[in-house]
Amino acid sequence: MFVDSVRDELKKEVITRVHKSFAQQCESSHISVHYSVMPLEQLIRSFDAGALAIILISTFRMDGKKSPHWVVMSGYNEDCILVHDPDYETKDDTQNPLDCQYVPIARNEFEKMSRFGQSRLQATLVLSAIDNC
């Protein structure tokens, strides 16, 4: 999924090998893997069903950093998606660990933050003990 975002051939090979290894591990462990587009409403339904959603976002709109960043969905309301952001800077004495919990992101901003590049790539891992998410 991320191979097209890398120019270096060695990095492409590493990404490909890691992906194949993860796929083999899932298969040998009988873990179902489904690839699909996941609209926000489906993400919310999965969350309501007890699934854990790990979402790749760009925090550029929040902190000016351009690198992709994984967050965990921790809730939602009619206006926002709430996430737990593990990117806590221990060196930054202005930040409290509680600042990283239940971070609200407006739904329309969340939609923009969860897409990358010209191809509008999205990556969300939905982990569930049930197979209907």
pTM: 0.78
Percent of the chain with pLDDT over 70: 83
Same-domain pairing of 97 and 109: yes
The dihedral sign for the CA sequence 79, 81, 82, 87: negative
Mean pLDDT of the chain: 84
DSSP letter (8 states) at residue 41: H
Same-domain pairing of 45 and 28: no
pLDDT at 92 over 70: no
Q: What domain count does the chain have?
A: 2
pLDDT of residue 63: 74
pLDDT of residue 43: 94
Strand order in the sheet with 124-127: 103-106, 80-84, 68-76, 52-58, 124-127
d(CA 97, CA 76): 20
pLDDT of residue 58: 82
Same-domain pairing of 110 and 47: yes
* Residue-number span of the structural domain to which 4 is assigned: 1-33
The answer to whether position 132 is within a domain reads no
pLDDT at 9 over 80: yes
E runs forming strands in 77-120:
80-84, 103-106
One-letter amino acid for residue 120 of the chain: R
- Going by C-alpha positions, the residue among 52, 55, 75, 27 that lies closest to residue 129 is 52
Q: What is the pLDDT of residues 45-86, one digit of tens each?
A: 999 999 999 999 887 777 777 677 889 999 999 999 999 987
pLDDT at 122 over 60: yes
Same-domain pairing of 123 and 73: yes
pLDDT of residue 117: 66
Same-domain pairing of 17 and 80: no
Better-predicted residue by pLDDT, 118 or 28: 28
20-40 average pLDDT score: 90
